[in-house]
Structure 1
Amino acid sequence: MSAIPQQVLASQKASLDNLLAIQGTFFGGFEKLVDLNLKVIKATFDEVAQKSQEAIELKDAQEAVAFTSGLVQPNAEKALAYSKHVYDIVSGVQGDLSKLTEEQIAQGQRQVSDAIDQISKNAPTGSEGAVALLKSSLATANSAYESVAKATRQAAEAAESNINAATSATFKAATDAAEAATKATPRTRRASAAN
């Protein structure tokens, strides 16, 4: 059996393996999202049952105000935590896909390099300049790809850092708002008692 059909079969097997890996990555991410949503739904049902019981036991308006102001912070924290989990899942899938893509590109580069080496071995005399040009072009393309890949990784890291900073700022604002609402509750009680 000649080397070319062997290479074609190996290339097709690698492509199939890559496709299966990509499908596995997407399905794994989907599974994680479904699992997260099921946990959130279960926790929400449990919390609604608990808060409903607490609401039934309220005796006056001051307790109702304190009860409602106490709901703000936990819900904001949960929404932020949920968003962070979703972001982590999506980011993980994107990272896995990036790795698979980089592996596929590296394999393609090796195949092109091997092909150029094969051409240079079988090239007629006097074609050394053309082979050198091909090798130089390949080296330039590889260098350009590495630069773009590095810039992309840096941009992704900067975006993740910005998202983490925004999440922290939003969480702090929600916490501050909840604390302000909690501090306002005693004033409301005093104002009601004065009337």
Structure 2
Amino acid sequence: MTYLSPEQFADAQKANIDATYRFANEAFNGFEKLVSLNLKTIRTSLDVQAARWQSALSGNGMQAFFEVPPGTEPLAERIAAYNRQVFEILASAQAALAEQAGAQYQREARKVQTGIDEAAKSGPVGSEAAVAALNSMIHATNSWYDSLFKTARQAVETAESNMNVVANTAKRAQSATPHAAAGRK
């Protein structure tokens, strides 16, 4: 039977702390990007509202308040762009975390497999069936993890595709609105 030496235990703890730090750092980077995007969005909204008020109060009438200021994207496009950027930030963070989790999983799986192989070498006669069962369990777990990872990736791709469809529909609806309003005058 093998026991962990103090050095092996310390190395394992260092590896776990390192992995935890990488996860936390990636999560913080994603949070930082979201905060930056939200501050930028608030700044843009304040600038647009200020331009609308300035236009309305400078003799252009209240109708000017409801018009899109020159050099500014229409609201639907700004919302679509914001949603796209949020999605990109979240997808990027999810991909980085999933990659790190996959790498950590692979390292741990190799350690377990090595431990099983070492135990099999020094195991009693007749333990081959137990070792085979453990190897089968590890293989099944690896297959399950791979399918889970692929499913998560497909879900992100589907969500991105759906978001693009909604954004394009909103953009077309926004661009069609001025033409419909002009036809009613």
Q: 1 CA distance for matches of 2:57 and 2:108?
A: 67
Matching residue's letter, 1:40: T
Contact 2:34/2:86 (<8 A) preserved: yes
Establish whether residue 42 from structure 1 lines up as the match of residue 43 from structure 2.
yes
How has the CA–CA distance of structure 1 residues 165 and 90 changed in structure 2, closer, same or farther, with 3 Å as cutoff?
same
Corresponding residue SS for 1:58? helix
List aligned pairs for 1:137-152, cutoff 5 A.
Answer: 137-152=137-152
Deviates more, 1:108-117 or 1:154-163: 154-163
Establish whether residue 159 from structure 1 lines up as the match of residue 159 from structure 2.
yes
How has the CA–CA distance of structure 1 residues 142 and 165 changed in structure 2, closer, same or farther, with 3 Å as cutoff?
same
How has the CA–CA distance of structure 1 residues 175 and 138 changed in structure 2, closer, same or farther, with 3 Å as cutoff?
same
How has the CA–CA distance of structure 1 residues 37 and 148 changed in structure 2, closer, same or farther, with 3 Å as cutoff?
closer
How has the CA–CA distance of structure 1 residues 82 and 134 changed in structure 2, closer, same or farther, with 3 Å as cutoff?
same
Partner of 2:170: 170
Q: 2 CA distance for matches of 1:109 and 1:55?
A: 66
Q: 1 CA distance for matches of 2:47 and 2:151?
A: 46
How has the CA–CA distance of structure 1 residues 166 and 110 changed in structure 2, closer, same or farther, with 3 Å as cutoff?
same
Establish whether residue 68 from structure 1 lines up as the match of residue 66 from structure 2.
yes
Establish whether residue 53 from structure 1 lines up as the match of residue 54 from structure 2.
yes
5+ long unaligned stretches in structure 1? 188-195
Q: TM-score, normalised by structure 1?
A: 0.79
Contact 2:27/2:93 (<8 A) preserved: yes
Structure with the bigger percentage of helix: 1
List aligned pairs for 1:74-89, cutoff 5 A.
Answer: 74-89=74-89
Q: 1 CA distance for matches of 2:162 and 2:57?
A: 43
Higher RCO (Cα < 8 Å, 6 or more apart):
1
Contact 1:22/1:100 (<8 A) preserved: yes
5+ long unaligned stretches in structure 2? none
Contact 2:34/2:89 (<8 A) preserved: yes
- Runs of 4+ that moved beyond 6 A: none
CA RMSD of aligned residues (A): 2.5
Question: Identity over aligned residues, as a percent?
Answer: 36
Report which of the two structures shows the higher radius of gyration computed on alpha carbons.
Answer: 1
Partner of 1:20: 21
Contact 1:73/1:175 (<8 A) preserved: no
Matched pairs, number: 181
